[in-house]
Structure 1
């Protein structure tokens, strides 16, 4: 059996192997870089916190270091040291108040033999008064050098603190005693502990003096011989501390792992020297989570970047392979397409011919529909004219009868040679003739079949033309007409004859609805609202019946016995052609139709 070699499979295997190697290198490399950056950042943050802690400690030491130096100049101390018979009561009270004000643990005065003559704790059972402290280094160092600083446990209180001592000299410069102030760092340690960062201070021998972890006090951070440990324990702790080693090795700024005395974690250690005291402050900041987050973020970013590059490379490689396949397929598709095009060309030619016939037929039907609508509008006009013909005839007969009467009168006046009276009769005849001409002109214009463009039409003129045609019928029926047109000369976009036809239809419907109504009234109101003009025709008739109201603008819907139900439909189509709308507005009584049109500028 012969195996077939597939080059594309081989290429994809090489591609996958290459990007796996790149991903491993990127994750490891970027993770290491991120770990180093995070370590440096953690050390910088710890260094900043250590500098702040050191600054607070220096401030505390400076504040208390000046206390013995100032007190050594107090003449009351010299008086008591040179004449113990004076009694310590004044100094006891002074030391007590001063210790309270400066927050010193104790202030006391020793004579040249190391015996305490006065103390701030003179009231307490553990008073220093009368105790001898000649064995304390801070006493003999102060007697020898003038001043001393010594950190140790109190022999009476058992509490750790820094003893600051200063020699007291008489006016001749001879030593007469030592003034001592003990400073405890409980408050400082508590503040450091609240920051959540373990901190400790070591002396020049590497022994922990001040610390936020009580178990570390008097432990050593560097190798000491057994003799040195015993000597330190005797001098500083009266032999109570064994000076065990710290649970982690000493060193400079670095990352250390601690599993004893603190929660197991990776800590950034930074060292801050206190040169004036020979001390060193060390701060530990938990950094494992910070470094882990930074490393994980960098590795994730590296993996995502490699995945993105691999994906893009894969897409490009896949595109190249597909491009080759598409080239082959495209040639076959081109030949097939040419064949299909030939077939579709014949089909499209036939379909185009059918579509052309359908378009011509649709245009013919649309023209027929438009012609039919125009014929329907014209028929509605003629039907309306038929309804008002009697009234118009009566409107014309009156001026004709008056013309005849005035013509006869003018002949008599001429026979009498009364030319002035004849002229008046002839003038009246001219006015009546003009009235008849206006009515006939309006009839002729109204009955003409028109379909002009939408133009600016004066609302007053359209209403006046309508009233010329229907005025006689209103008077015949005894209908009171009220016109409310507050803005004369207002124009709308419409076609005058067709607008008059709509108003006439609405007035005709109102007159028929008022039959049998006491005090029949029709109101024509015109209102302008912004760019729209509303022409409202209202009557005080019985209104539209509920069964007809919902289908009011549907063809052949009417509540008249002899009506066709086309007048409102035709009127609405005319108004819609103007770009407006015809609506029915129900009310508590009567009927109101509104014509809303665009205002012409």
Structure 2
């Protein structure tokens, strides 16, 4: 019976435990959220920094390719400005540009320049590499082009614009031609960047080159050409449109904001109609005022790193709080058990005070039950000992039956050798008698080894596996069975080859060979042409010992259960020989099988080669 005070105390304990669990869950939520956010942001910074390093390296590589491309052409205009044929053409009153046109055409083909042309002081083109083409520059007036004006004034000029004749964008490299101290014309090399832009486009990283005014000149995205990093005022826009011969649709801002400070950071840029994050990198080029901008795709690497970090943080926090929850649960269970024990003790004391007489009667009854239980426990122990002894006797009976099956042949051989030794002694042939007695000693040692295995049954000792000569094991087995085979008229055919080492226990391997040959000999009883074939061969990492006879073979009715204990076709057999042999071979790490044969039975022992 539970008192009101105990019930109230139990309810208070439940409420305290519930508050602890709520606090633990809230702490888990707070810590998990904080850790996931913090570790995610750390991972975001690390992934962004790595992407920024990759983007800066790629931008430097793009700038190096651009610089290499420009250096091929920057030396071409000064070289042509000092050419005698160019000066002769510009100074002649009746010029014939045919030969110079051919030279310029060949030079443009060799250098892959878009066009090379010579302009007089009046701004009219005298000779050009594209003189054969429909868009030939010969006769075109370029006196208004900024690169002509600046070259005539300063000696050289570089200007990126649309061609007035070809309509294609390119970089115009101009060099003044002088005769003494007098300017007589300008040589211009036009460079187009179609191949370079195609390479950038194939890399999958949008790149664009911007002039000092913020106008995109070279780009892997054709729609970005002649757009600006930021809006231009009306006057600057008018002058740039005029200088670069652009249409009214040019000089509009790019569809994304380029960082003003040139820092490498993530931006949002719409490509293929979808806003995606790109890592923006900027690097100066060798051309004054030109800067190269590169957008490296994020490809979800940053968000993947953030997600992985947050999942890891959540797992760690959950694991830590899971351990805390287990500890809290154990502590609460301990407190509950302690409270329950205290309550039981108090209840017991109350009942002792109220029912002392009933307790004494119950104590007497309990003593009687204890005595009965002790007697039952003693009976159970005795019964268990009997069962253990019975199990041991059954196991020893099986082992003894198998050992008796194997010792029969050595005992018979000992008797034969003893009779032989006696006969030799009667004939005064001491040397042969000594050999016979030595064989008796060997057979006695063999019997001792078998009985030692029986004594070691209780210790369950493992066989001593080591490299063993298979020929020596066969010789030992034949020593036991030679007389039996001769008496039975069984001819042994043994293919003796080189010595082969196998992993086995010497005595147990001999026991297997003896048992299998004994079975073969018994199967050949009564046959005049009985033969047993012993063959040893190497198969990969295994060594196979084949024991074949020409007897009646194994009946189909027992072939599938041949290795089942106590299953035998012999009148006086125990059905343990083959079972023991297979277990011994398995202990060596090998296999014992019955192979199909046209006549007789073929048993194969497969062992690991040493």
- Do residues 20 (structure 1) and 49 (structure 2) align? no
1:287 Cα deviation after fit: 2.6
Q: Give me the TM-score of the superposition, normalised by structure 1.
A: 0.65
Select 1:297's aligned residue among 274, 299, 308: 308
- Which one is further off, 528-537 or 119-128? 528-537
Tell me the equivalent position of 2:185.
Answer: 177
Q: Encode CA deviations 1:75-124: one digit per residue, 9 max, x unaligned.
A: 11111111142400111001111111111111100112111110011111
Q: Secondary structure at the match of 2:283?
A: strand
**Which residue in 1 is equivalent to 2:151?**
142
Equivalent of 2:277 in 266, 269, 283: 266
Cα 1:187/1:317, change in 2 over 3 Å: same
Counterpart position of 1:31:
40
**C-alpha distance in 2 between matches for 1:163 and 1:373:** 106
SS of the residue corresponding to residue 85 of structure 1 reads coil
Paired residue secondary structure (1:237) = coil
SS of 2:130's equivalent in the other structure is coil
- Please state how far the C-alpha of 1:174 moved relative to its aligned partner: 2.2
Q: Note closer, same or farther for the CA distance 1:126–1:330 as it changes in structure 2 (3 Å cut).
A: same
Q: State whether structure 2 residue 208 is matched by structure 1 residue 200.
A: yes
Residue equivalent to 1:234: 242
| Correspondent of 2:138 among 129, 132, 138 | 129
In 2, distance between residues paired with 1:33 and 1:371? 75
**1:59 aligned partner:** 68
Does 1:246 pair with 2:254?
yes
Q: For the Cα contact (< 8 Å) 1:189–1:211, is it kept in 2?
A: yes
Equivalent residue in structure 2 for 1:287, among 286, 294, 298: 298
Residue 379 of structure 2: aligned partner: 350
Question: In the alignment, which residue of structure 1 is the partner of 2:165?
Answer: 156
Aligned to 1:213: 221
Whose Rg is larger?
Answer: 1
Distance 2:117 2:56 in 1: 38
Matched residue, 1:10 = 19
Equivalent pair of 1:155/1:238 in contact (CA under 8 Å): no
Give RMSD over aligned pairs: 5.6
Describe the SS at the equivalent of 2:381.
helix
Give secondary structure in 2 for the equivalent of 1:246: coil
Q: Distance in 2 between matches of 1:359 and 1:217?
A: 97
Name structure 2 gaps, 5 residues minimum: 349-365, 407-424, 434-439, 441-445, 451-474, 497-505, 509-516, 586-592, 606-610
Q: Distance in 2 between matches of 1:75 and 1:312?
A: 91
Change (3 A) 1:347 1:208: same
In structure 2, relative to structure 1, the CA distance for the partners of 1:261 and 1:151 (3 Å cut) is farther
Matched with 1:408 is none
Contact 1:229 1:242 in 2 (8 A): no
CA deviations 1:245-268 (Å, max 9, x no partner) are 223334222322234775311222
CA distance in 2, matches of 1:16, 1:131: 83
> Secondary structure at 2:36's aligned position in 1?
helix
Report the equivalent of 1:225.
233
Relative to the length of structure 2, the TM-score reads: 0.64
Gaps of 5+ in 1: 378-429, 439-444, 446-450, 475-479, 495-502, 515-519, 559-564, 597-601
Distance 1:466 1:261 in 2: 93
8 Å contact from structure 2 (residues 158, 174) kept in 1 = yes
Closer, same or farther: CA 124–264 of 1 in aligned 2, 3 Å: same
| Cα drift, residue 143 of structure 1 | 1.3
Deviations 1:290-348 (A, max 9, x none): 3322222222222222212221211121122223345567999999xx99998765433
Query: Distance between the aligned counterparts of 1:212 and 1:343, measured in 2?
Result: 99
After superposition, the C-alpha distances for 1:475-528 in whole angstroms (9 at most, x for unaligned) are: xxxxx89788999xxxx979xxxxxxxx999999988x47xxxxx667799999
Q: How many angstroms apart in 2 are the aligned matches of 1:375 and 1:267?
A: 87
What is the CA–CA distance in structure 2 between the aligned matches of 1:457 and 1:299, rounded to whole Å?
Answer: 72
Conserved in 2, the CA contact under 8 Å of 1:268 and 1:286? yes
Between stretches 127-136 and 219-228, larger displacement belongs to 219-228
- Distance in 1 separating the partners of 2:115 and 2:397: 120
Supply the distance in 2 between the matched residues of 1:265 and 1:545 (Cα, whole angstroms): 79
Give yes or no for the alignment of 1:80 onto 2:109: no
- Deviation larger for 283-292 or 4-13: 283-292
Give 3-state SS (helix, strand or coil) of 1:169's partner: strand
Structure 1 188/534 Cα, relative in aligned 2: closer, same or farther at 3 Å? closer
Counterpart contact for 1:72–1:179, Cα < 8 Å:
yes
Q: 2:403, 2:244 → 1: CA distance?
A: 123
Out of 262, 266, 277, the position equivalent to 2:288 is 277
Distance 1:522 1:256, change over 3 A: closer
Q: Distance in 1 between matches of 2:67 and 2:219?
A: 15
